[in-house]
Structure 1
């Protein structure tokens, strides 16, 4: 961790943190208000963050992009017994979305090459689509 000559850890401003992470300062302040980022120390009224705050922001952005809610992200950062259950549920949800996206990608790739006016009438597509339906009891 960077240190100054006086033996104290170098802290960065919110503007610098925003620049490093590509996240607007308003989002950083929002995450602080909601308890997702530790409250930074203040010097002359300015927020000052430790360099590792950039790593936490990377985790926050990744979680948001994966579809986690603010409460789920907060729970992820805490040592609660429910944390593991929430993580397992999110992994299953992400896997379902990945499957749906893969199917959509396959459909679009096929539609680009298909000569049928309506993709649903394409025999090859219909054959693929039958594998997408849940098995009936």
Structure 2
């Protein structure tokens, strides 16, 4: 029989809190482990699974998306690619918003006005936003 890990050992090896591991188990991200005298016992492969979940979270997948990805990735076919396409679109949108925000902040740092409400650029953006323009559209004016 291979080495079995307690939840504390799994937490120590992965850096994930035991409460998060129990939650991930509830969500079905990690399989329910064997129990020995009522204590969870994970196979060594659980370390790699937890590390994979951490990686997927780090690149921006939600726990729901991680669950879907793990389920479809273990099946034949390429259904997982659609999840990746959607995530790429979402990331591109977030990057674009962050770039616009960065431009606005950089302008604010270069603005010579002590009182931001005396800056015609700032008040113009505020008025454009009130009129329904996106931040990107408002900042172009």
TM-score, normalized by length of structure 2? 0.66
Partner residue in 2 for 1:108:
105
49, 56, 74: which one pairs with 1:63? 56
Partner residue in 2 for 1:95:
92
TM alignment of 1:28-39, pairs within 5 A? 28-39=21-32
112, 115, 118: which one pairs with 2:116? 118
Partner residue in 2 for 1:78:
71
Seen in structure 2, the aligned counterparts of structure 1 residues 56 and 107 have a Cα distance that, compared at 3 Å, is farther
* CA distance in 1 between partners of 2:67 and 2:101 (Å): 32
- Structure 2: runs of 5 or more not aligned: 126-133
Seen in structure 2, the aligned counterparts of structure 1 residues 115 and 88 have a Cα distance that, compared at 3 Å, is same
- Structure 1: runs of 5 or more not aligned: 1-7
Offset of residue 101 of structure 1: 1.9
Matched residue SS, 1:42: strand
Partner residue in 2 for 1:24:
17
Seen in structure 2, the aligned counterparts of structure 1 residues 37 and 114 have a Cα distance that, compared at 3 Å, is same
Offset of residue 48 of structure 1: 1.8
